[in-house]
Structure 1
Amino acid sequence: MKQPLKVAIVHDYLNQMGGAERVVGVLHRMFPEAPIYTTIADRRKLLPELQGADIRTTWMQSIPGILRRFKHFFWLYPFGVRSMDLRGYDLVISSSSAYAKGITVKGDTRHICYCHTPMRFAWDFATYMEGNEASPVLKAAARLLIKPLRWWDRATSARVHQLVANSTIVQERIQQHYGRSAPVIYPPVNVSRFEVSKEPPGDYLLVVSRLVSYKRIDLAVEACTRMGKRLIVIGDGPDRDRLKRLAGPTVQFLGRLPDGEVVRYMQHCEAFLFPGLEDFGITPLEINACGRPVVAYRGGGALDTVIPQVNGLFFSEQTVESLEHALRSLTHYAWDSAQIRKHAEQFSEEVFIRNLASLIEGQLSSRNPAARPAVPALAHKKKGAVL
């Protein structure tokens, strides 16, 4: 009788609650018995679905101050992931935007890496250091490590059996930086959390975001100020004071709000503004799950998720004038909330699970069939069901 599949999940670090951590939550849902290996973890900031998971950290967890200043230790993470003991597993799934894909597996163990982006520190240093409180001297010293980390990042990518990109722009980066092809499986969006309101939309535009400069929230603030349009900004971050100085009386900053209040603002906005360049962007699809359209910059992950005049509009340049032009066009279209919601459902958690399960099945089939463990959850999974 074949033995059940032994699976491990690996993630860079579990000290924040973002889109990458949501992926880990869904992987845990797929494989609830699989331990989750990570360099460091802040259990106060775990997503609810990860609270009871078997999370195993490395020696880096004991470094004083690392949870607060985790970016300062970028040069140690390759050694942290190298120390993970992943012997005895049939399948290792890494969720990586930096270091997790650098793990070592041996023998018949298959390593599938779900890549959120190639390592930002190595390939996009300015974005990685955004909002970092490091001194100019430390940042200058950090730049000296860019080339060694690029070499490490490229070398470790060659050891992964299957790279998976979370969007077409990340697929392009994988080809550019690693010289490898990768299929795209879009990140899971929990569309079941949201529903279309029976009430008509309000008269305000909406931003829900961390307030950091590369998100380009300044474009939304300045455009709405100049046009006299009401804008509600939910979220906080180091760019808040600058944004408030740019804002006129029609712009409100509400800071962080409970999830229920955020959803109500999502359901009743005229449209959601997404002016930054993102690898994917889950929040616009959550807005779509509420039946509301998105006005997005034409680039990055938005190219995969926004269909003009169906679930939103694009503006072509990251300028106030270009965004203003798109905002004037909003009222030219009769937005169909049911159709917008249907579009978002194509990116649901169930679709992610189905697509990833199919890819895993294909990877395991490439092993020696006689030695392959039984995979009942994947082999006999009904279409659309949850593992």
Structure 2
Amino acid sequence: MLTKPEYIGKGSNRNPKIAIVHEWLVTYAGSEKVLSEMLKEFPDADVFCLFDFSDGKFSKFYNGKVFKTSFLQGMRVFRKMYRNLLPLMALAVEQFDLSDYDIVISNSHAVAKGVITAPNQLHICYCYTPMRYAWDLQHQYLREQKIDRGLRAMVARWMLHRTRIWDLRTVNGVDSFIACSEYIARRIRKFYRRDAAVIYPGVDTDYFQMGGEKKDFYLTSSRLVPYKKIGLIVEAFRHMPDKKLVVIGDGPQYRDAVERAGPNVSVLGYQEDAVLLRHLQEAKAFIFAAEEDFGIAPIEAQACGTPVLAYGRGGASETVVDGVTGLHFWEQSVEAICDAVDRFERMVGRFDAAAIRQHACRFSNERFRVEFRDHVNALWNAHCAESEVSCPKVALPREHSFQA
């Protein structure tokens, strides 16, 4: 039985003190958008991250909150190669002193869940995935980085071996896992032998709205990195010269996408949200070929009433309803994408834009905030009951209304 901790204060009616641990801040993408929504529900939470190399470009999304960083913040020479800091990240995240907090929420796809907490603290991990490159995708990762042979490969494999040992050690420090999809809940069960609740991330369905006339082109958008398979989509449209494709996004494989593109493919690079919105509204369909943990882009497309042709594994198998809001294909291959486009062309009139949008609204930001706050509330109250600690209460959630 745990002793009642003095720092909480017997009979105190204050809200529990909350820390959110985020991996790093270099862009404003999936996990950063979720962090922004967490802070709307817990605006007084302190945020810790390994480093912030964003130069304040995204502070408006966090109401100007200043993040508390680790010693890696001083290594700005790595700002364009920050993943090279991986060998130091485990050490860095363990140095955060979180002893003043009642609830610690790690927003984790790599090392954030490795923070050290005490028995009287509640550690909740919102998990996007066990580290892909350390577990089942190690061999693919090494091939894509061209370090699958020679001395560099031996060093990389040893480092990833040590990373897996550390990663398993950190599992015991998490009191409760939340997965971003059923797919990730299965991965957590496979690698960590832990059950996880599922709360899907939110999508800004208020911004991504239907509008505009459909035009004769297909669309894909994402960071241009290997596992997103943008090059594969571009290659497929080389085999369909009568079909037009627009690619929006930037990243290491931008040049590869441009070189693969035929005259029917337009690679626009990075575009502002307004340009992306217009293309999502006007596209015949959105193409998504990645095996993604959740995948926000297909939801944004569906919120605009646009069908999605998606690889039927990972998060898209849960967010795209085959034959209703889009179509699934079952191989990451040129032939499978071409077949999906052909099937779509033959049944394009069957897709109802309003029904597609209604489905997307099930994944709204507001729905995420309600489910996440209620779950944290329930976990904290259970934690207090089990430990017989006099705990500060979590404020009841505000009244919300959203489309289920």
1:154 to 139, 156, 168: 168
The aligned residue for residue 317 of structure 1 is 331
2:19 to 8, 31, 49: 8
1:221 to 231, 234, 237: 234
Aligned pair in 2 of structure 1 residues 89, 203: CA closer, same or farther (>3 Å)?
same
* 8 Å CA contact 2:288, 2:308 repeated in 1: yes
SS in 2 for 1:218: helix
- Which protein, 1 or 2, shows the higher relative CO under an 8 Å CA cutoff with sep ≥ 6? 2
- Please give the residue correspondences for 1:134-213 in structure 2 after superposition, counting only pairs within 5 Å: 137-197=151-211, 199-213=212-226
Which AA in structure 2 matches 1:188? G
* 8 Å CA contact 2:24, 2:50 repeated in 1: yes
**After superposition, what is the alpha-carbon deviation per residue over 1:104-142, rounded to whole angstroms, capped at 9, x for unaligned?**
111421010000111233213356568769897545422
1:352 to 368, 374, 397: 368
- Please give the residue correspondences for 1:1-387 in structure 2 after superposition, counting only pairs within 5 Å: 1-44=12-55, 45-46=57-58, 48-50=60-62, 52-123=64-135, 124-126=137-139, 137-197=151-211, 199-228=212-241, 229-331=243-345, 332-333=347-348, 334-369=350-385, 371-376=390-395, 379-384=396-401
> Identity of aligned pairs, percent?
36
Give ranges in structure 2 of 5+ residues lacking alignment. 1-11
Q: How many residue pairs are counted as aligned between the two chains?
A: 382
* 8 Å CA contact 2:213, 2:281 repeated in 1: no
SS in 1 for 2:299: helix
**After superposition, what is the alpha-carbon deviation per residue over 1:176-217, rounded to whole angstroms, capped at 9, x for unaligned?**
1101111111111111111111x3200000011122222112
The farther-off stretch of 347-356 and 221-230 is: 221-230
Aligned pair in 2 of structure 1 residues 320, 88: CA closer, same or farther (>3 Å)?
same
Distance 2:144 2:160 in 1: 19
Deviation of 1:48 after TM superposition, in Å, equals: 3.1
| Alignment RMSD (CA, Å) | 2.1
Q: Please, what TM-score do these two structures have when normalized by structure 1?
A: 0.93
Distance 2:239 2:133 in 1: 36
Which AA in structure 1 matches 2:303? A
Distance 1:221 1:102 in 2: 39
Q: Please, what TM-score do these two structures have when normalized by structure 2?
A: 0.89
* 8 Å CA contact 1:30, 1:353 repeated in 2: yes
Distance 1:121 1:319 in 2: 22
Distance 2:120 2:399 in 1: 27
* 8 Å CA contact 1:131, 1:238 repeated in 2: no
